[in-house]
């Protein structure tokens, strides 16, 4: 049995489970087992062409499967698989349009309770 | 709504001052209940974007796996992330939206002006998938 750890944003598509156990010989089979148990997860993990989405990192214990044998990586008993969407961004390309859009979306600006600011 | 202890709020703003003029980044852990996320701890991360650290950040997924595991052992989940905008407003950029994938989590941004932490704002990544995700302003409540 391998354990698959589901990241917080995807749990709502996995009946709220934080971990799902599957019987599988490879990482690919484990992920297939996961999406067959929880079909709503499929579109979040895979592209329409059936490839793992680029921003979805899959770790077997502490290793990125891209540096192992990818989805063909063999599983041992008690292995744990972690699905971690990537975290990145930056201040570059600050776009006024983006800021206008957010004002449209939220007529009220957030009330801030920090001691440092005036709002 | 993001509820965060004063101590963590101060810590993430301080992190932005320490890494200035580079962007800082880190993870917020705690519990989530519907639209409310309650932070109980935060974890500093290294910025792997050494090519452009003043206006980009990226957290090594290996670090995330570890933070997620340590959080799990304490009964905490990842509920959000924070980063700084050195000499840029505390507003999400198109880059931030493009590269945000943790739906239902909080993305906290602190503007750091000339080395001093200025405004801190939080945005919830809302939507039901990549094609229609959006950032919504959310209130920060310091507890
Ligand atoms: Zn940013």
Smallest CA–CA distance from B63 into chain A, residue: A62
Q: What is the distance between the alpha carbons of residues A56 and A52, in angstroms, rounded to a whole number? A: 7
**Could you tell me if B95 and A89 are in contact, meaning their C-beta atoms sit under 8 angstroms apart?**
yes
SS3 of A26, please?
strand
**pLDDT one-digit tens code per residue, B95-110:** 999 999 999 999 999 9
- Reading chain B (143 residues) residue by residue, the pLDDT tens digits are 999 999 999 999 999 999 999 999 999 999 998 889 999 999 999 999 999 999 999 999 999 999 999 999 999 999 999 999 999 999 999 999 999 999 999 999 999 999 999 999 999 999 999 999 999 999 999 99
Percent of chain A's residues with pLDDT above 70: 77
- Break chain B into its structural domains and give their ranges: 2-142
Cβ contact (<8 Å) for B93 and A98?
A: yes
Residues of A in contact with B79 (CB under 8 A): 8
Report the number of distinct structural domains present in chain A. 1
To probe the interface with B, which of A13, A56, A88, A106 has the most B CB atoms within 10 Å?
A: A88
Give the pair of three-digit tokens for residue B33: 């209940």
SS3 of B93, please?
coil
Closest chain A C-alpha to B132 CA, distance in angstroms: 12
In a domain, residue A79? The reply is yes
**Could you tell me if B78 and B102 are in contact, meaning their C-beta atoms sit under 8 angstroms apart?**
yes
**pLDDT one-digit tens code per residue, A80-116:** 999 999 999 988 764 444 454 454 454 444 444 555 5
CB atoms within 10 A of CB B95: 20
Per-residue confidence at A11, pLDDT binned at 50, 70, 90?
Answer: very high
> Which range marks the domain in which residue A23 is found?
2-85
B23 is a catalytic site residue: yes
In a domain, residue A37? The reply is yes
Please report the pLDDT score of residue A107 as a whole number: 44
- The average confidence (pLDDT) of chain A is 85
Give the Cα-Cα-Cα angle B108, B109, B113 (nearest 5 degrees).
Answer: 155
Smallest CA–CA distance from B105 into chain A, residue: A9
- Count the helices and strands in chain B (H runs, E runs): 3, 9
Report the length, in residues, of chain A.
119
Per-residue confidence at A1, pLDDT binned at 50, 70, 90?
Answer: confident
Burial of B47 (0-12, 13-18, 19+ CB in 10 A): buried
Backbone CA torsion sign across B7, B9, B12, B15: negative
Residue for token pair 């639209």: B35
What CATH number is attached to the domain comprising A46? 3.10.20.30
How is domain B2-142 classified at the CATH fold level? Cytidine Deaminase; domain 2 (3.40.140)
Cβ contact (<8 Å) for B65 and A82?
A: yes
Look up the pTM and report it. Answer: 0.88
Q: What is the mean pLDDT of residues A54-71?
A: 96
In a domain, residue A71? The reply is yes
Give the pair of three-digit tokens for residue A103: 């004002």
Give the ipTM.
0.92
Please report the pLDDT score of residue A108 as a whole number: 43
Please report the pLDDT score of residue A93 as a whole number: 63
Per-residue confidence at A119, pLDDT binned at 50, 70, 90?
Answer: very low
Q: What is the mean pLDDT of residues A47-63?
A: 95
Give the pair of three-digit tokens for residue B128: 């039901």
A54 touching B, CB under 8 A?
Answer: no
**Is the model more confident about A33 or about A101?**
A33
């Amino acid at each position: 049995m391998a354990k698959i750890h589901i990241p917080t944003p995807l749990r709502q598509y996995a009946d709220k489970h934080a971990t799902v156990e599957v019987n599988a010989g490879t990482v690919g089979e484990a992920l297939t087992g996961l999406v067959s148990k929880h079909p709503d997860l499929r579109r979040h993990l895979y592209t329409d062409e059936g490839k793992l989405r680029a921003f979805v990192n899959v770790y077997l214990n502490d290793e990125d499967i891209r540096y192992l044998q990818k989805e063909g990586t063999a599983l041992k008993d008690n292995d744990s698989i972690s699905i971690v969407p990537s975290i990145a961004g930056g201040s570059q390309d600050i776009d006024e349009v983006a800021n206008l859009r957010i004002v449209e979306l939220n007529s009220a600006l957030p009330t801030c309770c920090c001691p440092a600011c005036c709002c | 709504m993001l509820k965060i202890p004063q101590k963590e709020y101060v810590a993430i703003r301080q992190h932005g001052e320490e890494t200035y003029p580079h962007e800082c980044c880190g993870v917020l852990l705690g519990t989530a209940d519907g639209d409310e996320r309650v932070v109980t701890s935060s974890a500093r991360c290294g910025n792997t974007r050494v090519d452009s650290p003043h206006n980009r950040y990226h957290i090594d997924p290996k670090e995330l796996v570890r933070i997620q595991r340590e959080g799990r052992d304490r009964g905490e989940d990842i509920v959000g992330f924070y980063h700084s905008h050195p000499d840029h407003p505390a507003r999400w950029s198109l880059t931030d939206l493009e590269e945000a994938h943790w739906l239902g989590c909080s993305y906290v941004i602190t503007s750091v002006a000339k080395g001093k932490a200025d405004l801190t704002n939080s945005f919830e990544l809302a939507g039901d998938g990549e094609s229609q995700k959006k950032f919504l302003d959310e209130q920060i409540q310091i507890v």
